[in-house]
Amino acid sequence: MIQRIVYFPSLRKLLLRAGSNSASSKIGTNNCFASQPSPLRSHSDDEYADVDWDSLGFGLMTTDYMYITKCCEGQNFGQGQLSRYGNIELSPSAGVLNYGQGLFEGTKAYRKENGGLLLFRPEENAIRMKIGAERMCMASPSIDNFVDALKQTVLANKRWVPPPGKGSLYLRPLLLGTGPVLGLAPAPQYTFLIFASPVRNYFKEGSAPLNLYVEENFDRASSRGTGNVKTISNYAPVLMAQIQAKKRGFSDVLYLDSATKKNLEEVSSCNIFIAKGKCISTPATNGTILSGITRKSVIEIARDHGYQVLLSYIYVATT
């Protein structure tokens, strides 16, 4: 059956405002263009890309540069390189193509009023990728490598960071098993890549409430599966439910736990909070839910603001 649940993206806005004071990292001032070979063109610091910032949504808008580095199984990733954004070459037998050995992350860079750039808790994404890589038997970049790579990518694409208040530069780190395999096994080589795209609101509703379809026929994750890691293989399976929900006029899908179909888990690509007065509840991360960095930050900030935050099962009464 269909139930309407209202979700307020404005909570995330509150978080981002708070995050820009407390939890974000300042991007260093090193200019990464200096050491790059000639095909990389430098842009002046105050130059903006030719974008209509007022009509940004969440579509892919390719930017100038991407970051890429590779390593063999059992070794460590070294310093990578910036290159022009473009296609990458893959063996047809790459682990990621055949067995889905891949992880992704998503984080954002913001431009401040004074022109400085902010990343939102990038080390949290680095840690999550590391944990995911262990689960997926992949080599992964160190926390420092990951954060440094993000900073380089932002600086190289600085002109694509929207003006303050007009959005952010979305950063998409990818960790892929790119070495060739035939039998089911970890790939012998891994690629860590970051590309970027300026974005604004993820949902077309903007900061208006969303209608979520409570899904009873499809599960997003199962107990002891990979719901708690950001593997690429968790996402294509939710497309069918998402398409159906959109056809029915809903913004997205809210999943229930696969074992009992009685408890809220999360939306296709975000965590959920239920707020009542000064009490906020969110499902505990028990292995099936992605431990969102927004979720973690909302919990911290809400507690700081005197809210009671419950990490518990959230029972849904169905008729």
Ligand X SMILES: Cc1ncc(COP(=O)(O)O)c(C=O)c1O
The residue type at 294: T
Interacting positions 106-125 with ligand X (CB under 6 A): 106
What x/- string results for residues 286 through 305 when contact with ligand X is judged by CB under 6 A?
----x-xxxx----------
**Has 230 been annotated as catalytic?**
yes
Closest CA to 91 of 181, 6, 13, 22: 181
CB count in 10 Å sphere of residue 127? 15
Name which of 151 and 220 has its Cβ closer to ligand X: 220
Backbone angles phi, psi at 129, to 5 degrees: -65, -35
Name which of 181 and 309 has its Cβ closer to ligand X: 309
Partner residues linked to 267 by β-bridges: 254, 270
Query: In what order do the strands lie in the sheet containing 279-282?
Result: 274-276, 279-282, 308-311
Backbone angles phi, psi at 104, to 5 degrees: -135, 165
CA dihedral 193, 199, 202, 204 (to 10 degrees): -150
| Tokens read off for 248 | 């029915």
Which of 271, 281, 282, 285 touches ligand X (CB under 6 A)?
271
Listed ranges 38-46, 77-85, 145-153, 265-273: which one lies at the site for ligand X (CB under 6 A): 265-273
Q: Examine residue 283 and tell whether it contacts ligand X (CB under 6 A).
A: no
Shortest distance, CB of residue 295 to ligand X, whole angstroms?
A: 6
Q: Which of 108, 151, 158, 230 is catalytic?
A: 230
Name which of 71 and 199 has its Cβ closer to ligand X: 199
Shortest distance, CB of residue 119 to ligand X, whole angstroms?
A: 13
Which of 32, 171, 193, 270 touches ligand X (CB under 6 A)?
270
Name which of 3 and 269 has its Cβ closer to ligand X: 269
Closest CA to 232 of 57, 94, 64, 123: 94
Please give the residue ranges that form the binding site for ligand X (CB under 6 A): 106, 266, 269-271, 290, 292-295
Active site residues: 230
